[in-house]
Amino acid sequence: MTIENMQSEYLNFKKNPNPDDFGDSIESFLNYLKKATAIFVSGQDSSKRRAVCTLLHGNEPSGTQAIFDFLKSKEIPRFDTLFIIASVQAASAEPLFSQRMQQGKRDLNRCFSAPYDDQQGQIAKAIFDLLKHVKPECVIDIHNTSGSGPAFGVAIVEDANHIAITSLFTNDLIVTDLRLGALMELSEPKMITVTIECGGAQDRSSQLIAQEGLYRYLSTENVLAQADDEYLINIYHNPIRLETRDQGEVAYSNEPQENVVITLPEEAEKFNYGMLTNDEFIGYLSPDGMAQLTAKDYLGNERLDEFFEEREGKLFSRHPIKVFMMTTNPLIAKTDCLFYFIGHR
């Protein structure tokens, strides 16, 4: 099958489209795309291919903006490039870029493992099939964190290639054994896949990180590791998710709220920066709040009491921890997790 035949019910396919047709804004670009779309752009050299995926989450615009800016510049990528812009329909719901996924649909970045039987699963499978067909040497998947915070990469393998790709965007890499059905879990030696979290959707820096990193990724001769290269990357292993049991409610306020498991401060995103020490309180617990929290590691072991304790109705860490992806969105907090953390002991 040729690449041109990869058009499917679930994934639009466009080869070398004219960027003048995209309009002048990311809004007009969404309108042009209409649904999940793959754009294949011929490079200066067709001896290998690279891929960029983004917008698996419809409320994370930085990758789409970076792709739009790159394509509009009419710069020719170094090698043939496949761009995949996934949750166009979720992102197009008003207000634009406010919905992580379409109402009642699954989180697309949890659908890259069987069964693929619903619509989101079919979109994921169409993306997977296209990647298998195009055979890029590497894939980056650009996201925004749900709260404000610094950029980092996420991979399932710690090796020089995953580190080299991360280094195009950021100096921090999380390596995880947790399997959720995310695109990066498709990583294999012939298709190195790294998730790039380029910071919060509202952070000005996120846009620059996505734009500049994408430019480096698309214009550099070698993005995989070279024999003599050294990368100054901090690596964090297996962050643990702090969650409420049974999707218990989470509130954000500087006063303790009723009918919630925990009340986090309005400015909880501050925990995404630096280390959280064991004398800084994380939130107000309800009377049985501690029992309604869970922090299981990737092996399924409960680690809550090892890392956290209650002091006078407030949640504290027992040891300094590094927090990632703290959200201030109560819906994401209860349905996904409050934050990820790594213990330092």
- Kindly state the smallest distance separating residue 57's Cβ from Zn ion, in Å: 4
**Cβ neighbours around 252 below 10 Å, total:** 20
Applying CB under 5 A, the span of 52-60, 69-77, 161-169, 259-267 interacting with Zn ion comes to 52-60
For Zn ion, which is the closer residue by CB, 26 or 282? Answer: 26
Q: Which pair of structure tokens corresponds to residue 203?
A: 């952070």
Distance CA 258, CA 35 (A): 41
Distance CA 158, CA 155 (A): 7
Half-sphere exposure at residue 300, Cβ-oriented, CA atoms within 13 angstroms = 0
53 binds Zn ion per the rule CB under 5 A? no
Instruction: State the number of CA atoms in the 13 A half-sphere of 282 facing the CB.
Output: 32
Residue with Cβ nearer Zn ion (141 or 249): 141
Residue nearest to Zn ion (CB): 143
- Candidate segments 2-10, 18-26, 142-150, 249-257, binder of Zn ion by CB under 5 A: 142-150
**Min CB(204)–Zn ion separation in Å:** 19
Binding residue count for Zn ion, defined by CB under 5 A = 3
Q: Which is nearer to Zn ion, 66 or 260 (CB)?
A: 66
Q: Measured in whole angstroms, how far is the alpha carbon of residue 33 from the centre of its chain?
A: 21
Complete edge-to-edge strand list for the sheet that includes strand 308-311: 250-252, 262-264, 283-285, 314-317, 308-311
Cβ closest to Zn ion, residue 53 vs residue 321: 53
Q: How far is the CB of 130 from Zn ion (least distance, A)?
A: 20
Q: Which of 344, 336, 143 is CA-nearest to residue 241?
A: 336
91 binds Zn ion (CB under 5 A): no
Q: Nearest approach, Cβ of 149 to Zn ion (angstroms)? A: 13
Q: Segment near Zn ion (CB under 5 A), from 23-31, 34-42, 44-52, 136-144? A: 136-144
Contact range with Zn ion by CB under 5 A, out of 53-61, 152-160, 183-191, 256-264: 53-61
The number of residues making up the chain comes to: 345
Stretch that binds Zn ion, among 1-9, 60-68, 241-249, 277-285 (CB under 5 A): 60-68
CA 44, distance to chain mean position in Å, is 29
- Confirm or reject binding of residue 145 to Zn ion (CB under 5 A): no
Strands 240-244 and 339-343: antiparallel
Tell the smallest beta-carbon distance from residue 290 to Zn ion (Å): 29
Q: In the beta sheet, which residues pair with residue 252?
A: 264
90's tokens: 């979720």
Shortest Cβ 6–Zn ion spacing (Å)? 24
Assess 57 for contact with Zn ion (CB under 5 A).
yes
143 part of the interface to Zn ion, by CB under 5 A: yes
β partners of residue 250: 262
List interacting residues with Zn ion (CB under 5 A): 57, 60, 143
